[in-house]
A and B are shown apart, each in its own frame.
Chain A
Amino acid sequence: MKSLFTTIKKAAPAAAFTLALAGGAVLQGCSSGPGEGSATAAGVASDAAQAVYVAPGKHDEYYSFLSGGFNGQMSVYGLPSGRLLKIIPVFTQHGENGYGYNEESKAMLNTSHGFVPWDDLHHPKLSRTNGMTDGRWLFANGNNTPRVARVDLSTFETVEIMEIPNSAGNHCSPYPTDNNEYVIAGTRFSVPLDMKGGTADVSMDEYKDKFRGSISFIKVDQEKGDMELDFQILVPGFDYDLANGGKGPSSDWVFFTTYNTERAGSLKELGASQNDRDYLAAVNWKLAAKYAAEGKAKEMPAYYYHNKMDKDTHIAKSTIKKTVRYLLPEDCPGMMYLIPAPKSPHGIDVDPSGEHMVVSGKLAATIPVFSFSKMQKAIEDKAFDGEINGIPVFKYESVLKAEVPEPGLGPLHTEFDGKGNAYTSMFVSSEVVKWKLSDFTVVDRMPVYYSVGHLMIPGGDTHTPDGKYLVAMNKITKDRYLPTGPELSHSAQLIDISGEKMRMLLDFPTVAEPHYAQAIKAEKVAPNSVKFYDLAKNKHPHAVKKEADASVTREGNVVRVKMTAIRSHMTPDNIEGVQVGDTVLFHVTNLEQDWDVPHGFAVMGANTAETLIMPGATQTLRWVPKKAGVFPFYCTDFCSALHQEMQGYIRVSPKGSPVPISFSTGKKKPAA
């Protein structure tokens, strides 16, 4: 079967797509039954177990951050073991710890469309210093309701989410420049902008005239990481798919793949696949920033949310931004160019030298590699072939360096090992292909199971890749693991790329759908990991720092419970005087100052998730009791030997009841 597959592959380039689909059918038809995947053992290194074994109590060499795709979260895995270390909630409510449910974090999910408790998280990108990952922050995009988030890697918590105006389908996002000067976000769906901060109510027939895309330039505070939307470039109404920044000589530039340059408004599957060439857009971000600073930017009304978690209070706060600045390419000569690229390109990846721009065209028979130095020359020589919206279009050959012949089918993404090799994922032929940047020839192939999307090498998108491992993130799992009903986890595969030949080391299931990942040496992150919050620095307005200060007070129909939690009791644990229909706010402060002693809090019947409180922090659970009675509450995280005893009762009386507010803990029993 394998030889048949190879034959198909060899013959494929001419009629790549059709044959590939047939080949895929053959591949799947040949698989043996469940239990043993058909090609399970292919390419598995004989010492694979040893290569990925991290002994109990030992730590992994790398942290990897795999996006969760449609779960809106981020998964943290150790490499090479493939051990799941944590799931960081970003755009999605997380019942596990109360993120997006408790009063403090709700505001993180505010948008101009209201509270949006879910998103489609595609691309994690680590912050950078001098073009290398620095382990400070992780940026991530929300695709559906355009947002960019920042995760602080000292706490592994989402600390900032900013909505992107004039965008729809924030897929082409977020790409940091070499020193996080900007994080850049492009829109996948062009939309008719009303130039007042919304989309215009127009007929879809007017796509060609009215629809526009936008590229947002988010300025990042060098010390604190805080984001701010500096300006946008309003670009032709294509679909902007993916991007990547230049490096070294090309570090002032960022490149975007585009499709649907046909500007079809419907059945894009066909409509966007008519032109033989779409474009790679090249934007000089430094020049754009200069134009914006020098007054070329115009301002339009806008309406978008910017949510930040305060470090000292642990309370998220939303601010509404009401204007945005924008540049038009036609006003800004030299800022933007279009490079013709094979039909509907997907990934754009720049090699560590900054010279080669590799475009993976999912429908193309070859992988075109463009040259940055040729592009500079073409600008000088004005080797243009017309223009679109005032943006010069290069002649294909004037910028093309080479085409990688017969790479495989359905190339999507490329990363680099820093040793002169590139690795491209092939979705259709389900393999990772290694090729040389020196002569653009394929030197090795590794089958992956099945249909790889993104691939990732630690630092493989930076100046200095760490060419030891490659992680392939596969879209289809089928028979790879024990079956779990119709819905299966996606799979990741770890490949050793340290030698001439790739060696398959490990399979591990992933959470939801990883679209992309980042990895970084553990030593750049682990030493900064916070063990617990300093109680003395807790500035939450309702924090109580010792049991004696715990209180229950009524403010109209709001009852404020300022509670403390410490092994193994809550203070107060007997509360009376609450009435049906009151809003009870449990502000729980975890008094612990010890490593790994969170306390959880839940009350019977609360229409929300528990809240998990880290040592030294305060979190608030809102509860509106609907009926009279006695309701238990308890600690939900097994904190200590007497965790099961860490519980209490709250009495709810009918509306207007004379029962006064009272509270206690461990009341001394009257002498017998």
Chain B
Amino acid sequence: MKAYLKVLMMIASLSLGLLFLFPMWKIYLLAPQYPEGLEMHIWVNKISGDTDGALQNFNILNHYIGMEPIHADSFAELKIMPYIVIFFMVTGILVALLGKRKLVLSWVVLLMISGAVGIADFYLWLNKFGTNLDPTAPIKVPGMTYVPPLLGSKTLLNFDALSLPAWGSLGIGLAILLGGLVYFFSRSTVQVKSAKKVMA
């Protein structure tokens, strides 16, 4: 594998570091009483918001409809995910150093699967919170559930909810894209090499 591809592969694995610098996903809420908006930020290792009080404010609003309070402690994923990311970063660098095409492919595929599992897990959580409501909740709207959108916007009572991937997700996207490119370009050099062999 050529040196620049190894560098590219290294960048791919390092770009996962964005997950520690930025949230993966953001949920925005807008309501008549919240002209300034409320934001929940989902990180690889924590849940926060645009302000220190944001999570508490989400929980205060949600408790009226009987939604379980959201605490970072309730998610085992937040404890495991950082290690998974670190695992991918370390193995990515190893793959770059070894320069083996097949390893690149396995790394990218494994990362894609992990990403997909992550999104599926996120979706399941949204569903769980949105539907598993306390029957003694003060506000009960018959037939109403409060599953926030996974992607895009949705109206939930007086709130407009908007859910979008954030910069952290870009890290995963970039890692997959760059890893894929490395795989693609390393294949063409091999092809050229083998073509040369044939001609020889």
Contact = CB atoms under 8 A, between A and B. Distances in A.
Contacts of A593: 51-53, 56-57
A641 B56 contact: no
Nearest to B139: A641
Given A534-B52, A641-B139, A594 B64 contact: no
A198 B39 CA distance: 60
A548 interface: no
Contacts, number: 25
Contacts of B52: 534, 536, 593
Nearest to A615: B53
Interface string A564-595: 00111000000000000000000000011111
Contacts of A534: 52
Interface in B36-63: 36, 51-53, 56-57, 60
A340 to B, nearest CB: 59
Contact of B53 (A568, A594, A641): A594
Nearest to B57: A594
Contacts of A532: 53
Nearest to A642: B138
Nearest to B56: A593
Nearest to B35: A57
Interface residues of A, number: 14
A592 B60 CA distance: 9
Contacts of B139: 641
A21 to B, nearest CB: 54
Contacts of B56: 591-594
A642 B61 CA distance: 11
Interface in A510-551: 532, 534, 536
What is the interface residue range for chain B against chain A?
10 to 19
A567 B36 CA distance: 19
B146 to A, nearest CB: 15
A534 B51 CA distance: 11
Contacts of A595: 36
A595 B53 CA distance: 10
Nearest to A535: B53
Contact of A641 (B36, B51, B57, B64): B64
Interface string B119-154: 000000000000000000011000000000000000
B60 A566 contact: yes
A383 to B, nearest CB: 64
A592 B53 contact: yes
B53 A642 contact: no
Contacts of A567: 60
A512 to B, nearest CB: 33
Nearest to A645: B138
B51 A642 contact: no
Contacts of A592: 53, 56, 60
A641 B104 CA distance: 56
B36 to A, nearest CB: 7
11 contacts: A532-B53, A534-B52, A536-B52, A566-B60, A567-B60, A591-B56, A592-B53, A593-B51, A593-B56, A594-B53, A594-B57
Given A566-B60, A592-B60, A594-B60, 16 more contacts: A532-B53, A536-B52, A567-B60, A592-B53, A593-B51, A593-B52, A593-B53, A593-B57, A594-B53, A594-B56, A594-B57, A595-B36, A641-B64, A642-B64, A642-B138, A645-B138
Nearest to B53: A593
B53 to A, nearest CB: 3
A591 B53 CA distance: 10
A79 B176 CA distance: 57
Contacts of A591: 56
Contacts of A641: 64, 139
